[in-house]
């Protein structure tokens, strides 16, 4: 049995005091204003470059394909480094990881704003991915360990909703600002917004002492895969996002092929995607909290989210008429938001000493699944057939995996010693 470090003790005491406050007053959203602001900014950052690509490429004198390598740099830096940085957060505390990531995120966006060539732009985006990889898992772990079980899903769902709002609201605002004052102004706005969150983080995220290293770095990095419930959750996560985001990669092409939609109409579909994600995140958090209040700690909704994803993708790919296709897209992303919220709840609950590492692995397996799914859909000559076969098919696999995962979680809860969290 592992010993409890001073940091874990302090963090558990913080969680207990937060839980008392939650029970007495309900979930205090303002207590998390700093980390919620960061999640909104991270959501904006993830897709900001896409609408700015033509302007950026013209300004720095490179092709759009070359400028797009800055997006690849961000994603790769996040996916590769997140598990390592999640381990750092688990061992040395949330505050350090959060503040280091926030400062680096500020600097990286300022560097992007002053980029005059491709090299600095790509480096700045890689640094932004590194910064998000340091702060992101620490944020989810901080929310999980400072809220009571009664409201944890609601808190994580709100955080995920704000991340989605960054994509739905932040990206268009960034594009509008870029149109008024140039593309660099969008990155300056991100840098200033991130810097403004620092005082809130200093006040709202308490310092903890170093936890120390109990096992080697490699064993610590892979420890989440040694916990049966987490291992099953990561495998289901991979399959779900191979269906979800893998198919989403081709959603624009699918809608153009089926309904000949204009670029402007596709932009409105993007708003529908974000609205569905926000609704699903909030709904998933509340339903998860109600299930746990009723004594269900086995994530009973995971299979449902996978089934709804399959239905939504099938309607988008083959549903008769545009209205049914758009309804399918809404269901698709409600399922996506609910699933991701449940998964973050799983990562924040099953193994408290691995909260940030587990959350980081969720992101890495999400990117892995996305790449696998996009490759599989792209292998079909007919995008509708590929979306239906790969998207809906893997969603059903994820639904089955979600049911099995619920059984694993239920068995783990039964075998857990009395009184253990």
| Sign of the Cα pseudo-torsion (321, 250, 309, 388, in order) | positive
Question: From CA 228, how far away is CA 234, in angstroms rounded?
Answer: 10
Chain segment 309-321, per-residue pLDDT in tens: 999 999 999 999 9
pLDDT at 22: 45
Q: Is the pLDDT of residue 128 over 60?
A: yes
Higher pLDDT, 369 or 268: 369
Q: Are 183 and 320 in contact (CB under 8 A)?
A: no
Residue % of the chain over a pLDDT of 90: 51
Chain segment 144-168, per-residue pLDDT in tens: 888 888 888 999 999 999 998 887 7
Residue % of the chain over a pLDDT of 70: 88
343 confidence band (pLDDT: 50, 70, 90): very high
1 confidence band (pLDDT: 50, 70, 90): very low
Question: From CA 143, how far away is CA 131, in angstroms rounded?
Answer: 18
How large is the average pLDDT for residues 113-133? 94
pLDDT at 244: 94
Give the count of beta carbons closer than 10 Å to the beta carbon of residue 210.
12
Please tell me the least confidently modeled range out of 41-55, 82-96, 281-295, 367-381: 41-55
Question: From CA 200, how far away is CA 417, in angstroms rounded?
Answer: 38
Q: Is the pLDDT of residue 7 over 80?
A: no
Question: How many residues are recorded in the chain?
Answer: 421
Helix, strand, or coil (residue 113): helix
Nearest to 340 by CA among 317, 315, 365: 365
Higher pLDDT, 54 or 377: 377
Question: Can you say whether residue 380 is alpha, beta or left, with left for phi > 0 and alpha for psi between -120 and 50 degrees?
Answer: beta
Please tell me the least confidently modeled range out of 7-11, 183-187, 200-204, 290-294: 7-11
Higher pLDDT, 276 or 48: 276
Nearest to 47 by CA among 234, 247, 274, 359: 274
Q: Is the pLDDT of residue 92 over 90?
A: no
């Amino acid at each position: 049995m592992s010993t409890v470090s001073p940091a874990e003790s302090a963090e558990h005491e913080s969680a207990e005091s937060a839980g008392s406050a939650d029970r007495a007053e309900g979930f205090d959203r303002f207590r998390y204003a700093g980390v919620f602001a960061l999640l909104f900014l991270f959501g904006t950052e993830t897709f900001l470059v896409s609408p700015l690509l033509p302007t950026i490429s013209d300004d720095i004198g490179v092709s759009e394909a070359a400028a797009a390598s800055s997006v690849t740099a961000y994603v790769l830096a996040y996916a590769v480094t997140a598990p390592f940085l999640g381990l750092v957060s688990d061992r040395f505390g949330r505050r350090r990881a959060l503040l280091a990531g926030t400062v680096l995120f500020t600097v990286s966006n300022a560097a992007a704003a002053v980029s005059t060539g491709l090299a600095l732009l790509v480096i700045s985006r890689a640094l932004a991915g590194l910064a998000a990889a340091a702060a992101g898992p620490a944020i989810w772990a901080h929310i999980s360990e400072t809220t009571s079980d009664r409201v944890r899903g609601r808190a994580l769902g709100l955080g995920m909703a704000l991340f989605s709002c960054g994509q739905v609201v932040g990206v268009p605002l960034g594009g509008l600002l870029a149109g008024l004052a140039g593309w660099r102004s969008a990155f300056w706005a991100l840098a200033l917004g991130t810097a403004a969150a620092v005082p809130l983080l200093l006040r709202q995220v308490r310092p903890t002492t170093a936890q120390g290293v109990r096992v080697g770095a490699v064993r610590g990095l892979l420890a989440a895969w040694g916990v049966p419930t987490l291992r099953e959750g990561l495998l289901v996560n991979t399959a779900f996002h191979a269906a979800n985001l893998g198919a989403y990669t081709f959603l624009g092409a699918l809608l153009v092929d089926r309904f000949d939609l204009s670029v402007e109409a596709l932009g409105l579909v993007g708003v529908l995607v974000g609205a569905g994600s926000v609704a699903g995140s909030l709904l998933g958090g509340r339903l998860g909290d109600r299930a746990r209040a009723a004594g269900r700690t086995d994530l009973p909704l995971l299979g449902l989210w996978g089934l709804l994803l399959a239905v939504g993708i099938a309607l988008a790919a083959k549903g008769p008429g545009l209205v049914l296709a758009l309804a399918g897209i809404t269901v698709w992303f409600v399922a996506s938001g609910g699933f991701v919220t449940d998964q973050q709840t799983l990562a924040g609950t099953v193994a408290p000493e691995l909260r940030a590492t587990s959350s980081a692995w969720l992101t890495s397996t999400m990117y892995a699944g996305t790449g696998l799914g996009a490759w599989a859909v792209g292998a079909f000559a007919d995008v509708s057939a590929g979306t239906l076969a790969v998207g809906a098919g893997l969603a059903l696999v994820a639904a089955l995996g979600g049911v099995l995962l619920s059984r694993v979680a239920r068995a783990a809860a039964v075998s857990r010693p009395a009184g253990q969290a």
